[in-house]
Amino acid sequence: MKHIFVSTLFLFSCSEAKSPEEELTQDTTEQDTDTEETEDDSQEEIEQGKVVINEISIDPTDTEDWIEFYNPTTEDADIGAWLIGDDIEELYSISQLSADTIVPAGGFLAIYTKMIDENEEEVGFGIKKDGTETLFLLEAGLDGDVEEIIIPAMETENLTYGRIPDGSDSWENELAPSFESSNTPE
Residue pLDDT, tens place only, 67-90: 999 999 999 999 999 999 999 889
- Tell me the pLDDT band of 49, cut-offs 50, 70 and 90: low
Average pLDDT, the chain: 77
> How do residues 8-39 score in pLDDT, each as one tens digit?
233 333 333 444 344 444 444 444 444 444 44
Which position has the higher pLDDT, 139 or 179? 179
Confidence (pLDDT) at 142? 56
* Whether 116 contacts 122, CB under 8 Å: yes
Neighbouring CB atoms inside 10 A of 130's CB total 10
Contacts 24+ apart (CB under 8 A), 164-169: 166/54, 166/70, 166/72, 167/52, 167/54, 167/70, 167/72
